[in-house]
Amino acid sequence: FSFITLVHQEELSKCLMFVYNHPAMLLHLAVFCVCSTVGQLFIFYTVKSFGAVVFAIIMSLRILFSTILSCVVYSHPIQELGLIGLLI
């Protein structure tokens, strides 16, 4: 879908020129594609082996822990309503 959007908004040539002007970007794109593909394979494996409910629980816990970690590492304040949301 991103390719179609780039073509429709006439941004594809700008993207290709950026990659042409910055050859190191190809390595970053390749690593990004590989990581995305492996991530999708893990998602499919988890749903196939354990079901959609377990996957939904895993994703909810991942978001919860990443939010808490972000608050701790970057000293983001958690207001009362936000704390109630984390506890629910």
What per-residue confidence (pLDDT) applies to 2?
A: 85
- Cβ count within 10 A of residue 61: 10
Using alpha carbons, select from 78, 53, 55 the residue that is nearest to residue 67. Answer: 78
Is pLDDT at 1 greater than 80 in this prediction? no
CB 12 within 8 A of CB 6: yes
Whether 18 and 11 have beta carbons less than 8 Å apart is answered as no
What local confidence, expressed as pLDDT, does residue 87 receive?
A: 86
Query: What is the pLDDT averaged over residues 17-46?
Result: 95
For residue 68, give both structure tokens.
């808490």
Tell me the percentage of the chain whose pLDDT exceeds 70: 99
Q: What is the pLDDT of residue 50?
A: 97
